[in-house]
Structure 1
Amino acid sequence: MSKLSIVVPVYYNSDTLEMLYDDMKEKILHKLPEYEIVFVDDGSGDNSWEVMNKIAEKDENVVCTRLSRNFGEHAAILAGLSVCTGDCAVTKQADLQEDSTLILELFEKWKEGYKVVLAIRAERDEGAMKKFFAGMYYWLVRKTINKDMPQGGCDCYLLDRQAIEVIEMLDEKNSSLTLQVMWIGFKSAKVYFHRKDRTVGKSRWTFAKKFKLVMDSMMSFSYFPIRVMSMCGVLFAILAFIGIIGAIYEKLTVGTPIMGYASLMCVILFASGIIMLTLGILGEYIWRVLEESRKRPPFIIDEVRKNDK
Structure 2
Amino acid sequence: MSLLASQTASKAWNYLTPPRALEGDTLAASWVTRGTHFIVCTSLVSDGARLTRDNPDEYLLIVPPQGGLSATLRAGADCVEAVTDSLSILPPGRSEIEVHGTGYVVRIFSADAADLLALAGNAAAYATPNPDVAPLAPWPDPVGGFRLRTYALEAHRKPDSNMRVFRTCKLMVNMILPRVGARDIHKLTPHVHQDFEQGSLALDGSYIHHLRYPWVPDMDQWHPDDHVEMNSPSLIVIPPKVIHTSRCIGTGTSQLVDIFAPPRVDFSQRGLVCNADDYPMPSALQPSIA
TM-score (norm 2): 0.27
Higher normalized contact order (CA 8 Å, seq sep 6+, divided by chain length):
1
Give the structure with the higher percent helix.
1
- Which has the greater radius of gyration? 1
Give the structure with the higher percent strand.
2
